[in-house]
A and B are shown apart, each in its own frame.
Chain A
């Protein structure tokens, strides 16, 4: 019997279905990116899109509902809302971005400084941030705006920027605290790298992913803060067109029951905010993928 094998059959090779590769667009917030891109492009190229001069007050056609000539209607001062949306969007987005840059830079420097300072200074600085953090943000903004007096685009961005850096600073500080005694930071310090060099070359790459989402959310809250301030009459004056100052005419709109003056600028505002949130959420999920243990 030796040497004889019974032929039992060949086991078929199971051809495993090759794992379908993800298309480039899967899992990415395509719709939000597209919408946000459209809005930004429209605002940047507003001179091509606008059908009317946004600041011209057409006193014959005030408070006109949307029609062929005035696509989104006109406001109570006779200005064309369609043109104002694109023209004013630039200022709203500008304020959002500038104040985020201000707050993020402040937060990174403050956080890194506090993280690498001796313990007592760190404790003091963090106490300070906690106190500042517990003041309702908008109240602080209102108060500072009252102190600065007449608002313009830059002063508003500044005020919003310096009232919203605290939470990012705390995150940066925690990360820096973790990193500061690691070998490569010590090595860099031994070789004479100064504070800003170490921050840029060694510390920043480590915390950039965790503050990305917060920075995106700061853009969002800055835009909201600007529009709220302008709406309440302590932000941008009515002549400076932004989405917020367009809404500051809302009281008149309510009296005249003209829905287009409230819904259209607000709609643009909210779509922009939603897009930013969506992209921010995507950033967070993608960046923090390693940390999740679920």
Chain B
């Protein structure tokens, strides 16, 4: 356990260092994000003063150490663009992303299990083949294009659903309004990830059905349904759970694109803005947050595996879970 925590801290430290240096070396003017267009009209003297005030005139390493020192005290600096504490800016947005990503994750989790079982149950029959074809086609559609088409159909032409934002201005408290704004982004998030996991469930179940214990159970007279749900499904649960734990970061990465298309005020749009406008402090916190999330999820996956399947205790679990992903994984990894 101690080793794991050490590993965790080390990775966080490395991540912060890499992000910090990369962001500072990148071309672009952080003063623009703080002062807006005024930054371009500044005289050299004013510039120098402004840089000194924001602490940007020191060498990068000095800046980094200063940042680190403050971060240990829980002070992550102010966002240059919003002029308030970076953590506060994120707090205001995180809820929206959590709703979109969280509900999306649960939906994907449940639906992919259902769809996978349905396919495996009807193996090679018409239903299975049809779902497979549709799923493969659906997984080819880029997220942003699907969002565009949905906006075109449902908000531009049919005028049923709003095309952007998380709520109508003024109606922040109304739940029905929120839900209406959530439908389209949610559909995109779920549709673009669903098949990938459902296909995995299907293939794992098909492997499982061919195992010897199924034959034994059949000869004992157990019904098909109870074999499928009591035995096969449980046996593939460890690998499924660990993949779903790793998938959290991928689903979050997916919501980022959807957020920018629907201009949904979440962390994705914030990350995009901060990377574009050199809002260093904000970018650092966001990177650290997603890094911590990714690492925590991987650790959770490992823990789940070890709890369910003692055989995995010594083997490196990440590689194990990766291998059991369907070959589609290669295609998605870059997504």
Contact = CB atoms under 8 A, between A and B. Distances in A.
Q: Which of B26, B144, B256, B330 has the most CB of A within 10 A?
A: B330
A222 B331 CA distance: 9
B176 interface: no
Contacts of A263: 149, 152
In this complex, the interface size class of chain B, counting residues with CB under 8 Å from chain A, is 35 or more
Report whether over half of chain A's contact residues are helix, strand or loop; otherwise say mixed: helix
A221 B335 contact: yes
Interface in B206-247: 206-207, 210, 246
B271 interface: yes
B163 A254 contact: yes
B333 A270 contact: no
A214 B246 contact: no
In this complex, the interface size class of chain A, counting residues with CB under 8 Å from chain B, is 35 or more
Interface in A129-173: 130-131, 133-139, 142-143, 146-147, 149, 160, 163-164, 166-168, 170
Contacts of A72: none
Q: Which of A139, A163, A259 has the most CB of B within 10 A?
A: A139
Interface string A176-214: 000000000000000000000000000000000000011
A259 B330 CA distance: 33
Report whether over half of chain B's contact residues are helix, strand or loop; otherwise say mixed: helix
Interface stretch (B75-83, B105-113, B135-143): B135-143
B148 A250 contact: yes
Given A135-B294, A137-B253, A221 B331 contact: yes
B122 interface: no
Interface of B: 11, 22-23, 25-28, 136-137, 139-145, 148-149, 151-152, 156-157, 163, 206-207, 210, 246, 249-250, 252-254, 256-257, 260, 271-272, 275-276, 290-291, 294-295, 297-298, 316, 318-319, 322-323, 327-335
* A-B pairs, 4 with minimum CB distance: A136-B253, A217-B331, A214-B330, A221-B334
16 contacts: A139-B290, A143-B22, A146-B275, A149-B26, A164-B334, A217-B327, A221-B334, A225-B334, A228-B142, A232-B144, A250-B148, A254-B152, A262-B149, A262-B152, A273-B140, A277-B139
